Amino acid sequence: MANVLRIAVVDPNDSTRESLKTVLLGLNMVWLEAECSRYEFFSDVVEQTKPDIGLIAMDSDPDKAIQLVSDVAAQAPDCTLLVTSSSTDGRLILQSMRAGAKEFLTEPLKSEDLVTALQRVKRSQGGPQSNTSEGCRVIAVAGATGGVGTSSIAVNMACALAADEKNSVVLVDLDVALGDADVFLDTIPEYSLADVAQNISRLDLTLLKKSLTKHSSGIHLLPRPVQLEDAQLVNADNLQRVIGLLKTSFSHLIIDTSKSFSELDMQAFEMADDVLMVTQLDLPCLRNVVRLMMSFDDNNTLREKVKIIVNRVGQDNGQISLKKAQETIGRDIFWQVPNDYRVMVEVRNNGVPLLQQAPKAGITNSICQLADAISGKQRDDEDAASTKSRRWLNLWPAK
């Protein structure tokens, strides 16, 4: 994204440097351009990489660190310098500021303190407009069981978001064994999630974007590994890194998870803003939703992210009523997608998104409205007044 800040870090202490990197990788407003373990080499690193921000950890040698701040400030005036220290000594703070540091942050560094400092840097570098970016919204789509239409919703919601030219959308197929997002889009990707994970140590924005497959709908796809044995190359740590990098480049990240609720899936849920739990109105699905929500009880943050999506509403007369379903799972149903077997079969067989295959179908309209609701989009055309009514036209009433 346009407002990402490129940052270079120096900290001779391996432990605190790794902790600092972990904080940085969790932010969608920065890109870790370089890291350095010696004060003596950092000036050269800044000269070569030309970062927006230089972050200097002072505790290993405060005197050397202050001299480094002074040297880098004179050598690279366009690089904003931040310093960190576990000390709160007023003299040290004053010396670092006089040397050229713009912010003094206290160790252990908290992500909220760093974000606040970075936002001030953005405003100072880019003026009032630099605060307009809302960052990347991460949406994980999960299924209460297999075959409930998780991939259909993930792929077509991504396409619906990409239809807005203001959005940049990437779809990650995290079903590393049996994912089929590439089939839904009739593409033969050159690279996969395994390729990206293998090269995570040297990955940069340019290489990352070259690893994605661009579809005619506007979305970028990072598919599951080609070979089944390559699935083991993707672990939670490098997935966290991949998601962190993608967040710096796109406005929306859709993750189509597996049905195994593996370590990878849980990592995706932790990093997501929303977790869409797709189910159907039958007893096995609803019981699984109850079991999953009970498992999420120990993680209040995760539980609050979950939104229940009922798919294939009206599939047959034997479905459990919406009222009974809500009583069973003990929470509201966020969205309902109507059943349209004929259209979905055509979409799957032709490898064409709903918006292209059947733009006026009720199921297409429902998924487009779901995309709007998740992204918080406010309609400004004549549809705005009727959004709520049209949404409920697609819903089957509770009995």
Query: Can you tell me the distance from the alpha carbon of 313 to that of 325, in angstroms, rounded to the nearest whole number?
Result: 12
104 closest CA partner among 18, 96, 9, 64: 96
Backbone angles phi, psi at 321, to 5 degrees: -70, 155
Task: Decide if 215 contacts 185 (C-beta within 8 A).
Answer: yes
Task: pLDDT tens for the chain, 399 residues: list them.
Answer: 445 788 999 999 999 998 888 888 777 678 888 999 999 999 999 999 999 999 999 999 999 999 999 999 999 999 999 999 999 898 999 999 999 999 999 998 887 788 888 888 877 765 444 333 457 899 999 999 999 999 999 999 999 999 999 999 999 999 999 999 999 999 999 999 999 988 876 766 677 888 999 999 999 999 999 999 999 999 998 898 888 778 877 899 999 999 999 999 999 999 999 999 999 999 999 999 999 999 988 887 898 999 999 999 988 767 899 999 999 999 999 999 999 989 999 999 999 999 999 999 999 999 999 999 998 875 444 444 444 433 444 444 444
Q: What is the pLDDT of residue 28?
A: 65
Which residue blocks in the chain are alpha helix, DSSP H? 14-25, 39-49, 62-75, 90-99, 111-126, 150-162, 181-184, 193-198, 205-210, 236-247, 263-271, 283-295, 300-305, 322-329, 341-350, 354-357, 362-375, 387-393
Same topology for domains 5-131 and 137-393, yes or no?
yes
Which pLDDT belongs to residue 299?
Answer: 83
pLDDT in the model for residue 392: 40
**Locus of tokens 């918006």:** 355
Per domain, the residue ranges of the chain are: 5-131, 137-393
Domain spanning 137-393 has what CATH number? Answer: 3.40.50.300
CB atoms within 10 A of CB 304: 10
pLDDT number for residue 205: 66
- For residue 3, what pLDDT is reported? 57
pLDDT for 19 equals 87
What fold does the segment set 5-131 form as a domain? Rossmann fold (3.40.50)
The set of residues, in sequence order, having a beta carbon less than 8 Å from that of 45 and lying 6+ positions away, is: 8, 10, 34, 36
Neighbours of 286 (CB within 10 A): 22
